[in-house]
Every structure is written in C-alpha cells, then in structure tokens.
Structure 1
Amino acid sequence: YNLEVKNFLITEAVRGEGGRLINPSTGKRFMTYYDPARMELAPRDIVARAIDAEIKRYGLDYVHLDISHMPPEFIRHHFPNIHEKLLTVGIDMTTQPIPVVPAQHYTCGGIVIDEHGKTDLPGLYAAGECTESGLHGANRLASNSLLECFVFGEAAADSIAAAWDSLPPPPPIRPWDESRVTDSDEEVVIKQTWTEIRRFMWNYVGIVRTTKRLERAKHRIELLNDEVAEYYQHFRVTPDLIELRNLLQTAELIVRSALHRHESRGLHFTLDYPETLPEAVDTVLVP
C-alpha cells in the first residue's frame, strides 16, 4: 500500500513462509482473533475479511505484513523480486514490515468449459482466468492460476488439432464500417466511468457484501451500460472503450451471480446469508 506509486501484488507465499499480519495500532497479530488454529495460513477469503475488519474497526489505511524476524538471506533468496521492488519505495522487508491491503487480482468464475477447453459455442475454446473450469471452486487454489492456463491451453490446442481437418471454413467477416462515427472529444468520459466502476464495485461488491449493496451496484451498472452503449454508437472504437465495455459486462455478471447465491461460500461472503448451505448450488447465468 503506497499512495505515491502504483500498487503491486505481494505474493501469498510471504505468509506461507512465516509472514505475520500485524495491526499497526495495537502491534498485535490479529489473526489470533479470526482463525487461531491456522493464523496467517488460513484460506485467503478468511484472511482478506480479517484484514478488512481490522482496517474498518481501527480506522486504518493498511495493516502490516512482517517477515523481518526471518534471516535476511532467507528473505532475499525466497523473494528477490519483491525485496528489490520494495527497496525502490523505501522499504527493506528484511528489517521493516510491509503495509498491505486486500485487493482483487483474480476472477473466480467465467465461461463454462469442459476438460478440453470447449465452450457450448461450436468452435469457441477458452482457457485461464476467463473460464469456469471447475478447478478452483469458490476459492482459487494458490499458485495455480498460471498452471491452469498451461494445462487447459494445451488441452484446447490438442482438441482443436485433432479435429482440424473436419472443421468447416470460417464465415466471411464484413468490413468494419466507421462512416457514421467520429473521433471522441470526450475521452475523459471513459476514464471517469472506469474510476466510478472501480469505486462502487469495491464499496458494494467487495470483501463483505449485502443484498442492498449488490442492488445498488446493479442499478449503477444499468445506468452506465446505457451511457457506454450510446458512447459506443457515436464515437470511433478504441482499446480503452472496448475494455470499458468488457469491464461493465464482467461487473454485471458478478453482481447477478452474487444476488442469485443465498449463502456465503468461499470468497463470496454476505451479511444477509452468512451460513454455507450443505450442498453447493451453481449460479450459471444463461443469456
């Protein structure tokens, strides 16, 4: 956590190798109040909620992740990149704690695929974070996101290659028509909308959810969908505009899925339904 530079990910392995989560106000390891048996080795959803609770309870901007009790050589050997990066912002993790906050960096859920990477659209394959492969369930398996890309990417390639000779020719693609659009004179709209989505998704669809917050997010998404659709129709397409449309669609799917789930499971925790049902019920959304 650093307001002066772009934040970067501190791998969970720091906790796995002995890192301790400390409340900077009390100086105490707070995981003892949330999961005393596993402490910092608790699943990521429990740790994230614990950090969030401490930040809100004490009015903090961050908590400390401290591994300075380990030998300096051990830290530099196991985390060379993190060590070097932190030095550039004035933090020596061999002697100082690291200020940290929870952050979303992986999407659990996506396009439903089979073991070969096939979707329900003939000829369309998918692999990696954009998919629901069944590998992770309600909580991503640590250090498996890149491996998932390799495994399902290879499976998809093998499946495509096996059926290559029998595939029909692709349909012709019509020329892109930009005759009725102009260059935008309001690029700030894209940046402003992007920032707005980030803020209300964090506030309403973040670590701890409620039905009321989810409904608020749903309403905001509906309004922004109309605004972005109008923008898309009148101005020339740019990578930022396409990414904004994708961002809105992903946000909508997350909110709709969360509203369908009347329980708490894994990374999805709602105060209105804090218990976990005996049997999981999927929230596959069909257009």
Structure 2
Amino acid sequence: MNWEAGADLLVVGTGVAGLTAALRARELGLRVLVVSKDAVESGNTGWAQGGIAVVRPDERDESDSLRKHVDDTLVAGAGLCDPQAVREILAGGAEAIARLRDAGARFDSGADGLLARTREGGHQAFRVIHAGGDATGAEVQRALVDSVRGGGIPVLERHCVVELLRGDGGAIAGALAMDGEDRPGVLHAPAVLLATGGLGQLYAATTNPDVATGDGVALALRAGATIADLEFVQFHPTVLYAEGGPRGRRPLVTEAVRGEGAVLLDVRGQRVMDGVHPLGDLAPRDVVSAAITRRAAETGAEHVLLDATGIAGFDRRFPTVHASCRAVGIDPRSEPIPVASAAHYSCGGVASDVDGRTGVTGLYAAGEVACTGLHGANRLASNSLLEGLVVGARAADAAAKDLGRARLTRKRVGDVRAPALAVAERDLLQRTMSRHASIGRSEEGLAAAAGTLDRSAIVRPMSSARAVADASLTLTAQALLAAARQRTESRGCHRRSDFPETDDLRRLRSTGLRLDASGWLIHTEAGIVRTAA
C-alpha cells in the first residue's frame, strides 16, 4: 500500500447525509474522515431543486400536521413503507431543519417573513420549504460544505473506496481506497458510514451526476450486507427533453413547477393527467411518469409538454429551470417546455434501520444508498433531503454509542490487496438497463438484460477509479435485475407489463438480496434490517 490513514468514523460520500453525519460525529468528539469520489461539492444533493418536505409546528398550513405528512408518505409508498420508520424520520424533520439553519442554510421567505412553502406531487398541503427558488440542494450543500471546512474535518477529495475491510467475525475494520492517481491505500476505521448516493448512471438518461454509480450498494453487498427493494427506481416525470432523445445527465424540471400550477400536455395539446389520478398533475411520481411514457407512445412522440406559461415571474421563482430552458432556446414564460422521464432516485438500497445500522457490525448507511423503510415502493417528493439530514445525524449518534459500548473492532487488518471484479462495458450496460429495466418491465426483457450482462462481464483487476465504478455498476445492475424479476407484480415505481396488477396477498413485503459465500446473488427474507439501539 502506498498510503494509509485512520479515524473513528469513515464517511464515504459528501452529500447531505454524509456531511450531516460528519458534523454530528465531530460534535460527539469522534475522529472523522470523509472520502469523496470527486470534489467535496459533488454528488446528488447539489442538484436537488424542489425542496425539503417538513411540518414545522410554528410555521405550517393550519390544516396540516405530522400525521398528514406520514399519511401522504405511506400512500406514496404503496404498502411497503415501514410505518414506525416513517413516523420517526418525519418527526425529526423540524429539529433537523433548525440545525441546518444554524449551520448557515438560508431558505426562501414570504412577505410575512416566514419560510415560504410550496406543494409537490402526493402532498395534501403546502409543506415543502425551498431555497434560491429551485436551488435548494445547492444551498444545503453549500452550508454543509462550509461547516465541514470551517470545522476542520478532513476530506479526501478525488478518492474512491474500492472495498470494505473486515476483521475478526466479519466486523468492519476500514476500507481499501484509491487516490486521484489510482494509488491504493488503507483507511483504518472501526465504523464506516456509506452515504454514496444513488445509482442513476445505470441508465442512459438520468438526473444524477456522473459519480452516481451505485458504489454503496456494491460495497455493502461484497461486505455481507443485505440489499432491500432495489427494484424500485423512481423515474422523475419531467426532465428537459433534448432533440434526439435524453442522454446522460439531463436538467431536472422540478415538480414544484407543477405545484405552482403548470400542467402536462401531449404534443396534440391534450391534458396528460385528466382522468388518471384524483390529484391530476400532482399525482405521485410513479403515476405521472407512467402516464407520460404511455401518452408519448400513443402520440408517437418521445416527449410531452409542460405548460408553465401561466406562472407569473417564472424566471424569479425557478431560476435554475429557466436558465436550463434558455440554454436550449426555450422560453418557458411564453412556450411549453418539452419534458420526458429519466432515472432519478433509488427507493431501495442497503437495508438499515432509522439509526443507519445495517446487518454488518460497524457498517452504517444513510441517504439515498440506504433503505430505511421511509420510501417504500415510491418516494414522496422532497422527503429525500429530509431523510439525509435526520438519518445522517442519527447514524453518527449510533456509531458513537456503539464505539462507546465497545461493540466495534479497532483491529488493524494485515495484508490488503485490490480485488478483481466482474465489469461490463458501461455503454452496453446503460443501453441494456434503459431498454429492459426502466419504467416498463417484463420477465422476457429482464431475463434478456441479465443474460447480456452475465455474458459481457469480464473479471478485471481494480487498478483504476473507472474500473471500480464500472464494477459497481455491474453488480448493482445485476442485483436490480434479480430484484425486479423476483417481484412479479406492479407496485409503486416498479411496473411489470406481464404482471400489471398489485398483489397484496403474496408480495406485500420487501425484496432482500445478499451475496452468498461463492459470490452469487441470493434472495433473503431478511428484507429491511431492524436492530435495537
């Protein structure tokens, strides 16, 4: 090994969950080390537009309540949320926002001086707070990064984690990593928090940045953890459509635009959501995405239109969306915006409890990479940043508690070597997943996709960050396909053309996956892990 470092808690990822955990761990007196694949500002958080859904007792709609926020979340989750996890995470929202504002985050205010609130799909009330109009994620990331830098918390930028290391009994002992010049090193730590974000780069078109390659899912699987509900990938209904079809990271057109009154039209000018759902254009995302895909196919188009011309001051309320539209020659103040669906958010991930604990001693997960039971089969809009804030802090508390009780190992591992892992060519993988594992799925297509990846994957040494990312994409794709084949029904954002109905009698449970001793993916009834504090 060329280099090494050590900490009490190793945080992998620099989004809202990872940085929140790092700050809380430092408050608790832990030695913290943060690892970022890119610059500390990179990741999914900075791209989030809409806002943070939270019911604050002192500033809320008169008819709104925490109970209603819980109800909306459970409805969106289509029967697979964990009600207790939903209640605990959402109940922590008001305190989390207070901590974030103390860290310097500035949210938009109304004329009355109170925080401005908007409404998004699936919400009964105006409870989504926002910053910079439609730049909430950027403001949250800015405040957290400034706090981390100001607090002297070390961040290894442009480093990737290759493999989690385990000591006696399988407990976490740190990680094998690679620096910006692909030189290997060892990070010794008895506690590791995965906060690596999503897996959008599995698909040809996504709202996710280039770093969202499913690293946390792959790392956790190879470390012996269980993955739950990976088949539930949420496709955002509205990303800016580009001529020739969406490809790569596409600009998001936040759901708040519809919350402010915009409507979806097909290319013939007919309302897309009429008669589809009682909430119309503000239906849950899985419903809207499916409707858009269906209507586009019916009209022979690759997109539909979002008419926001009735929103006064659009450029001030949604400056990010306005700038993206103007960059491609569209003026949303006077003409409809062409939009299509793209991979956006993973509702499943590393099975963990609301304190971030997984089934592997010393391994924690928070944010999009985790499956806490909050999102179920379909995430309610703007619950993600809130989950990162709440569970990130709770995971730091849990790690500190486990360290204090001597539950974790501080033994240093000996000889560490980079593994050789199966890698499929990225473009082929993305095209295959987009064709067979996006909004519409079937056993025939899923089986074809699994066969394509199995045949094309070649075992290669992990000698570069690119190879590590491609190996993560390959294993994560294989796990997602296995989960999607296992769920023979349509539920939430998992739609099967060969099983179009929802089966509450046999399928009302999480889909769990882990690797066996031979490295094969196997199904487990463990599903979401619940561990006592």
TM-score (norm 2): 0.47
Flag the structure with higher helix content: 1
Match of 1:174 in 2: 415
Residue 273 of structure 2 is aligned with which of 28, 31, 34?
31
Deviation at 1:33, TM superposition (A): 4.6
Matched, 1:268 2:525: no
Match of 2:235 in 1: none
For residues 40-189 of structure 1, the aligned pairs below 5 Å read 40-71=281-312, 73=313, 75-165=314-404, 166=406, 167-176=408-417
Match of 1:209 in 2: 441
Match of 2:91 in 1: none
The 2-side partners of 1:274 and 1:61 are apart by 23
The 2-side partners of 1:284 and 1:198 are apart by 24
Residue 251 of structure 1 is aligned with which of 466, 477, 501?
477
1:104 aligned counterpart, secondary structure:
strand
The 2-side partners of 1:195 and 1:15 are apart by 33
Deviation at 1:50, TM superposition (A): 1.0
Flag the structure with higher strand content: 2
The 2-side partners of 1:108 and 1:173 are apart by 37
The 2-side partners of 1:145 and 1:23 are apart by 29
1:203 aligned counterpart, secondary structure:
helix
Q: Deviations over 1:54-94 (max 9, x none)?
A: 221222121111111222x2x23321221122222221211
The 1-side partners of 2:474 and 2:409 are apart by 33
The 1-side partners of 2:260 and 2:285 are apart by 15
More moved, 92-101 vs 6-15? 6-15
1:93 aligned counterpart, secondary structure:
coil
More moved, 158-167 vs 207-216? 158-167
Deviation at 1:260, TM superposition (A): 0.9
The 1-side partners of 2:413 and 2:504 are apart by 50
Q: 1:16 to 1:169 in 2, by over 3 A?
A: same
Match of 1:193 in 2: 425
Match of 2:136 in 1: none
Q: Deviations over 1:235-270 (max 9, x none)?
A: x62111111111111111111111111211100111
Match of 1:240 in 2: 466
Q: Deviations over 1:117-160 (max 9, x none)?
A: 01101001111111111000000121121221111111110111
Q: Any gaps of 5 or more consecutive residues in structure 1?
A: 182-189
Match of 1:221 in 2: 453
The 2-side partners of 1:161 and 1:67 are apart by 48
TM-score (norm 1): 0.86
1:30 aligned counterpart, secondary structure:
coil
Q: 1:170 to 1:195 in 2, by over 3 A?
A: same
Deviation at 1:177, TM superposition (A): 6.6
Higher RCO (CA 8 Å, separation ≥ 6 residues)? 2
Q: Identity, % of aligned pairs?
A: 36
Residue 284 of structure 1 is aligned with which of 490, 512, 519?
512
Residue type of the alignment partner of 2:491: R
The total of aligned residue pairs comes to 266
- RMSD of the TM alignment (CA)? 2.1
Deviation at 1:176, TM superposition (A): 4.4
The 2-side partners of 1:141 and 1:272 are apart by 26
